[in-house]
Amino acid sequence: MRRPRWKDNDGQVTIEFLGMTPLIILTLVLMWQFVLLGYTYTLAGNAADEAVRAATAADPGARQGACQQAGLDKLPGAWSGTVECNTAGGYVTADVHLEVPVLFPGSIGFPFTVDGHAGAVEEEKD
C-alpha cells in the first residue's frame, strides 16, 4: 500500500536549506566585516602608540617626520591612513586615522575612519 504523494516529505530539508542559504551567507559576510572593523581599531591604536613612542625619542626638529614614519611603518599594505603629531607643554600626542576596508583589505573603504590616539611625556635630551 502506497502513501498518497502529497504526504511525502522527501526533499523538504533540501528546500528549507536552500531558503536559509542567503541568510547564512549574509550572516557570515557581516561577521567578517565586523572582524575587519575590530582589526582596524587594533591597528589604529598600535600605530598611535608606535608614533608617539618614536616622537618622544626624536629631536624636536625631526619629531614630526619620525612620528609619521613610525605610525605608518607597521601598518599592513592594505590599510591606509594619516598620522598627526603634536607637542604642547612637554606632552606629545599622536592621532592616527585609518580607513576601514569593505570585505577585502585593500579594497574600497567605508566613508568613515577609525581613530587611534596616544600620548606620552616628552623625553629630556642630555
Rounded to the nearest integer, the mean pLDDT of the chain is: 83
pLDDT digits (tens, 9 = 90+) for 63-72: 888 888 888 8
Contacts of 54 (CB under 8 A, 6+ apart): 66, 67, 69, 70, 71
Element (H, E) at 93: strand 91-101
Higher pLDDT, 11 or 95: 95
- Confidence bin at 4 (pLDDT 50/70/90): low
pLDDT tens-digit readout, 26-62: 999 999 989 988 998 999 999 999 999 888 888 777 8
The model's pTM: 0.76
Ordered by where they begin, the domains of the chain are 8-121 (3.30.1300)
